[in-house]
Structure 1
Amino acid sequence: MLVFLQKLIPKLYGLYFNLLVWFIPKKIAKQAFTVFATVRKGRVLPNQKEYLDNAKFEVVTIGDNKIQVYNWPGSKETVLLIHGWESNTWRWHKLIDKLQKEDYNIIAFDAPAHGYSTGKILHAPLYAEAVQALLLKYEPKLVIGHSMGGMTLLYNESKNPNSHIEKMVTIGSPSEFHEILTHYKNLLGFNDKVKSVIETLVQKKFNFSTEEFSSSNFVQNNNKKGLIFHDRLDKIAPYHASVDVHKHWKESELFSTEGFGHSMHQDVVNEKIIAFLK
Structure 2
Amino acid sequence: MKKTLYFIFTKSIGLYINALSFVFPEKATQLAYALFSEPRIGKLSIDKLPKVLQESENETFKHNDDHFQAYTWKGNENTILLVHGWESNASRWENIIPYLQKSGSTIIAIDGPGHGLSSGKEFNIPQYAAFIDIVVQKFKPQHLIGHSLGGKTCLYYQSVYQNTALKKMVILGSPSDFNIILNNYIALLSLNTTIHKGLESHYLTHFKLDLNLFSGQIFASKIKIKGFIAHDTDDTVVLFKEGKKIASNWNDSVFIETKGLGHSMHDDELYNKIFQFLFEAE
Give the TM-score taking structure 2 as reference length.
Answer: 0.93
Corresponding residue for residue 258 of structure 1: 259
Please give the alpha-carbon distance, in whole angstroms, between the structure 2 residues aligned to 1:191 and 1:80: 40
Which is further off, 261-270 or 22-31? 22-31
Q: Does 1:107 align with 2:108?
A: yes
Please give the alpha-carbon distance, in whole angstroms, between the structure 2 residues aligned to 1:6 and 1:121: 23
**Map 1:186-265 → 2, pairs under 5 A:** 186-265=187-266
Give the drift of 1:165. Answer: 0.2
Corresponding residue for residue 32 of structure 1: 32
- Secondary structure of 1:81's partner? strand
Q: For residues 240-267 of structure 1, what are the alpha-carbon distances to aligned partners after superposition, in whole Å with 9 as ceiling and x for unaligned? A: 1111111110001100112111011100
Give the drift of 1:238. Answer: 1.4
Unaligned 5+ segments in structure 1 are none
Corresponding residue for residue 132 of structure 1: 133
Which is further off, 5-14 or 81-90? 5-14
Give the drift of 1:51. Answer: 2.4
Please give the alpha-carbon distance, in whole angstroms, between the structure 2 residues aligned to 1:126 and 1:209: 16
Moved segments of 4+, more than 6 Å? none
Please give the alpha-carbon distance, in whole angstroms, between the structure 2 residues aligned to 1:90 and 1:49: 7
Q: For residues 42-65 of structure 1, what are the alpha-carbon distances to aligned partners after superposition, in whole Å with 9 as ceiling and x for unaligned? A: 123898523212213211112222
- Secondary structure of 2:146's partner? strand
Which is further off, 126-135 or 171-180? 126-135
Give the drift of 1:110. Answer: 1.1
Q: Does 1:54 align with 2:85?
A: no
Letter in 2 for 1:7: F
Please give the alpha-carbon distance, in whole angstroms, between the structure 1 residues aligned to 2:140 and 2:7: 43
* Percent identity of equivalent pairs: 36
Give the drift of 1:6. Answer: 3.6
Letter in 1 for 2:144: V
Cα distance, 1:139–1:236 mapped onto 2, change above 3 Å: same
Please give the alpha-carbon distance, in whole angstroms, between the structure 2 residues aligned to 1:7 and 1:65: 35
Asked if structure 1 preserves the Cα contact closer than 8 Å seen for 2:55 and 2:73, the reply is: no
Unaligned 5+ segments in structure 2 are none
Which is further off, 39-48 or 267-276? 39-48
Corresponding residue for residue 17 of structure 2: 17
- Secondary structure of 2:156's partner? helix
Asked if structure 2 preserves the Cα contact closer than 8 Å seen for 1:169 and 1:228, the reply is: yes
RMSD of aligned residue pairs (Cα, Å): 1.7
- Secondary structure of 1:209's partner? coil
Which is further off, 94-103 or 171-180? 94-103
Asked if structure 2 preserves the Cα contact closer than 8 Å seen for 1:56 and 1:68, the reply is: no
Give the drift of 1:73. Answer: 0.9
Give the drift of 1:226. Answer: 0.1
Give the drift of 1:9. Answer: 2.6
Q: Does 1:269 align with 2:267?
A: no
Asked if structure 2 preserves the Cα contact closer than 8 Å seen for 1:175 and 1:215, the reply is: yes
Please give the alpha-carbon distance, in whole angstroms, between the structure 2 residues aligned to 1:135 and 1:13: 40
Please give the alpha-carbon distance, in whole angstroms, between the structure 2 residues aligned to 1:92 and 1:58: 17
Number of aligned residue pairs: give it.
278
Please give the alpha-carbon distance, in whole angstroms, between the structure 2 residues aligned to 1:79 and 1:267: 18
- Secondary structure of 2:255's partner? strand
Please give the alpha-carbon distance, in whole angstroms, between the structure 2 residues aligned to 1:213 and 1:86: 21
